[in-house]
Amino acid sequence: MIETYLQQAGNTAKPFFDELAAPGGEVREHWKKIAHAYDELGLEKMEQRSREISQELRDNGVTYNVYSDPDGINRPWKLDPVPMVFSQQEWETIERGLTQRAELLNLILTDIYGDRRLIKEGFIPFDLVFTHKGFLRQADKIKIPGKFQLIQYSADLVRGPLGKMWVLHDRTDAPSGAGYTLENRAAMTRVFPDLIRENQVRKISSYYQTLKNTLTKLALQNKENPRVVLLSPGTANETYFEHAYLASSLGITLVFGQDLTVSDGYVWLKTLRGLEKVDVIVRRVDDIFCDPLEFFGKSQLGVVGLMEAVRQKKVTVINPLGCRVLENPGLMAFLPRLSRHLLNEELILPSVATWWCGHEKERKYVFDNLPFLIIRSTYRSNENRPYIGSELSKKQIEELKKEINTRPYLYVAQEVVNLSTTPSLIDNNLEASNAIFRSYVVADTEKQAYHVMQGGLSRSFPAKDGFIISNQSGGISKDTWVLGPLPQNPPQQPVSRQPLRQVKNILPSRTGESLFWLGRYLDRAVSNVRMMRIVLKIYNERDDEIHPETDQTLVILLKSLSALTGTLPGFADEDQVKLTQPEKELLSLAVETGRPGTLAQSLQSFLTNGYAVRDRLSLDTWRILDSISEELDLMKENGDNLHKIYHNLDQFIIKLMAFIGLNNDNMTRASSWRLLNTGRFLEQAMNTCTILQAALAIDVKPDVEKQLMELVLMSHESLVTYRYLYRSTLQMQGVLNLLLINEDNPKSVAFLVSKIDEHLKQLPDDNSEGSLSPARKKLLEALTMIRLCDVNKLVTPDADDELSKKKLHDFLHHLITTLGQASGAIYESYFSPTQSQYSFVKSNNPLPEL
């Protein structure tokens, strides 16, 4: 396998540098042990290990969202089983270069928002900074106390044809990928433990510990016990997985913009217990989206007034707002001179050759060599795509020149580098693919130095000659191994241990709402699955076609299914075609995600809410969620086959029950657990009442009624309980007592309502001491109705009643209404937002003249 790869690498016509193959056709020294191990495995076992890695990542819920791709939401993360490898000697140079570059950019950032001497003295062109959208005038003269302004830094490194490492991009605004790096290493360690140990691959955990320590020391106000949050754009963001993963790993709270508000100059987190002050914000939202009051007025991702809170030194935001100005690729052309001026050092890691078009001489060079260059906007965005000169026609080149001449300060040109190649397992073959390496650097406030992760996130792309490699364009991630032991550090002073103090578990109200609806959709799916199984069982056992006059049991079950799912009129339609030929409607109720109330829609909503609170759920829980998602995809594939769907329903019950059992076993009895179960029990109580009303509160023949009672008990997993409890034939009074009144039965409405009240009693309550909240009052009303009801009277008609079940029907209707009012009161108490912070900000554009 390795021999074949060496031959292919040696036969290339272009001057590529290969990470594994030396020019003489031999394996590079630091690759030898790894290459030998892979050669011993062979392609077949390598492919097997690759599948194991993919399974590990799927089990852990590692995903990556690809924009503008219908299959892109929650796409499985791809990891190559062959790592990017750096030798110990080579890494020492890279590490020194990254530290130097971080220090240099930190000084530049401090100056740009400070005295601006570098601009005044001509080291940085005026136009390069002040025309860049990343320069935020609102952040002028704002400084984080201490040496460091640039807290986190990432650099994308590539290797040119001669083996020299170049910096392709500087990432300073909200650098991503550190969470994926940690998960990549975990997966590789599980699959290749011996290989990692034998090659002395350096650990990357110290980076995350340093990051956590630094975050806790950046608080300006509450230094003893600071509250740190990670601000995410939301679940639709491409890297939302790592936002939740990092928040969970670092022990900080994951928040969205809607979770935060500014009042009295401070930033507050909206929680179930009220407002909690925030001290440090680790933002993964681009700076101009962070405050719609001062930046992009239409942003729904940020916090109104955040910039003012920063200005008043009431909160620390990292990286600081405005640091995206350092991502201007035009700045790369001036870094060598700036390094000599500020550090009195030559740049260890040079940038890819860059020409800023704002200077006439450089612009002329760019125009003369445009077919051999890549043209970029100075401001990176989805709209500003780079131009690859070799791919442009003559007409396009002329149009580009006109565009550059119009605003030359907005464009840079860079050399097209033949990126190095590295071995990757592609289509069961070891092939050379282009590679790019992203490093991670964090400020260590204790040591007053920058700390470089001993590894990073590498990405490869199957096609050679590519200069743009990204996950959005199909890149595959690779773990990055730095070989050799860590250099010996001088003995450290013993660290004084502070008393262990338990941190109060703060639950953002938005997270609480997602947990509440997670429980609602969970039990909605369970009820739908159980009822559909009963319906399909009876439907499959029928002797011939359905006749509403003769097959009354099945007709009532079909109508009950429509009532339970809320997909009315459904089978309750006056048109009898659906009843006589129910297959189309049953298939729709199973697999249509776009139709509210269907099983597929309930399951999809359940998964969506689970995804929104993934930082609150355990790894095993995520594996169950992933399994449910896969089963949902299988059911959609079986969308025209009721027999196969019946099998899917069996699997759903097993997996949904596993989810319930695991969370009951693992979750601490805190607000999150109580809200999830409040949602579950409320949905279950309402669904039970709905089924009882639709299936049993109607006048039918005794034999039909008996069959319906049995099936309703089966759908509630209570048939065996009834038999042991009453040891008699089925009677309506017994069924109603078991499913409505008996508080020893966990399936009864009375039991469920009393449990909801217990949970709400433990949740924060704004009502004065001794008084019940509106939600608990409604629950008490419902519970009192049930406890005081006489089931004999409910099923015994008065002399003037035409329908014997009218009292039961009306009672259940009243109970459903009361529970619905309790649901609304719960929402109003805990989740109903006050006036939206965004309602005050529509646009920061000047108002038109009247």
pLDDT tens by residue, 742-801: 999 999 999 999 999 999 999 887 565 668 899 999 999 999 999 999 999 998 876 665
In this prediction, residue 506 carries a pLDDT of: 77
- Domain of residue 761: give its range: 680-833
- Confidence at 72, pLDDT banded by 50, 70, 90: very low
Q: Within this chain, do residues 527 and 617 fall inside the same structural domain, yes or no?
A: yes
Does position 425 have pLDDT exceeding 70, yes or no? yes
Q: Within this chain, do residues 525 and 636 fall inside the same structural domain, yes or no?
A: yes
φ, ψ for residue 232, nearest 5 deg: -110, 150
Q: Within this chain, do residues 442 and 562 fall inside the same structural domain, yes or no?
A: no
Q: How far apart are CA 291 and CA 282, in angstroms?
A: 15
In this prediction, residue 56 carries a pLDDT of: 86
In this prediction, residue 68 carries a pLDDT of: 45
Q: Is 543 exposed, middle or buried (0-12, 13-18, 19+ CB in 10 A)?
A: exposed
Longest Cα separation, the chain: 104
What is the chain's length?
850
Q: Within this chain, do residues 545 and 473 fall inside the same structural domain, yes or no?
A: no
In this prediction, residue 840 carries a pLDDT of: 42
Task: Kindly state the helix (H) or strand (E) to which residue 656 belongs, with its residue range.
Answer: helix 642-666
Residues 118-143 have a mean pLDDT of: 94
In this prediction, residue 579 carries a pLDDT of: 82
**What's the pLDDT tens digit per position in 539-582?**
888 766 666 666 889 999 999 999 999 998 888 877 677 888 88
Residue type, 268: W
In this prediction, residue 798 carries a pLDDT of: 66
Q: Within this chain, do residues 530 and 472 fall inside the same structural domain, yes or no?
A: no
Q: Within this chain, do residues 655 and 691 fall inside the same structural domain, yes or no?
A: no
Domain contains 60: no
Domain contains 376: no
Residues 313-338 have a mean pLDDT of: 95
- Confidence at 428, pLDDT banded by 50, 70, 90: confident
- Confidence at 307, pLDDT banded by 50, 70, 90: very high
Looking up tokens 């933002």, which residue turns up? Answer: 283
Please identify, among 667, 693, 712, the residue that sits at the C-terminal boundary of a domain: 667
Domain contains 44: no
Residues 213-234 have a mean pLDDT of: 91
- Confidence at 843, pLDDT banded by 50, 70, 90: very low
Instruction: Tell me the C-alpha to C-alpha distance, in Å, between residue 50 and each of 43, 191, 425, 436, 478.
Output: 10, 9, 8, 21, 12
Please identify, among 667, 691, 707, the residue that sits at the C-terminal boundary of a domain: 667
Q: Within this chain, do residues 467 and 547 fall inside the same structural domain, yes or no?
A: no
In this prediction, residue 465 carries a pLDDT of: 52
* Residue 184 CB partners (closer than 8 Å, separation 6+): 79, 457, 477, 478, 479
Q: Within this chain, do residues 235 and 336 fall inside the same structural domain, yes or no?
A: yes
CB neighbours of residue 725 within 10 Å: 15
Query: For residues 838 and 218, which has the higher predicted lDDT (pLDDT)?
Result: 218
Closest to 599 (Cα-Cα) out of 589, 608, 584, 609: 589
Q: What is the mean pLDDT of the chain?
A: 88
**What's the pLDDT tens digit per position in 159-177?**
988 888 999 999 999 899 9
Please identify, among 612, 642, 667, the residue that sits at the C-terminal boundary of a domain: 667
Q: Within this chain, do residues 466 and 614 fall inside the same structural domain, yes or no?
A: no
- Confidence at 614, pLDDT banded by 50, 70, 90: confident
Query: For residues 549 and 637, which has the higher predicted lDDT (pLDDT)?
Result: 637
Q: Within this chain, do residues 743 and 610 fall inside the same structural domain, yes or no?
A: no
Q: Within this chain, do residues 434 and 582 fall inside the same structural domain, yes or no?
A: no
User: In terms of pTM, does the model score above 0.95?
Assistant: no
Domain count, the chain: 3
In this prediction, residue 803 carries a pLDDT of: 61
Domain contains 674: no
Query: For residues 805 and 281, which has the higher predicted lDDT (pLDDT)?
Result: 281
Domain contains 490: no
Q: Within this chain, do residues 660 and 723 fall inside the same structural domain, yes or no?
A: no
Kindly report the CA angle at 619 between 613 and 620, in degrees rounded to 5? 115
Domain contains 549: yes
Contact by Cβ (8 Å): 412, 329: yes
Looking up tokens 């199973």, which residue turns up? Answer: 590
Domain contains 223: yes
Does position 41 have pLDDT exceeding 80, yes or no? yes
Domain contains 360: no
In this prediction, residue 847 carries a pLDDT of: 34
Q: How far apart are CA 30 and CA 483, in angstroms?
A: 8
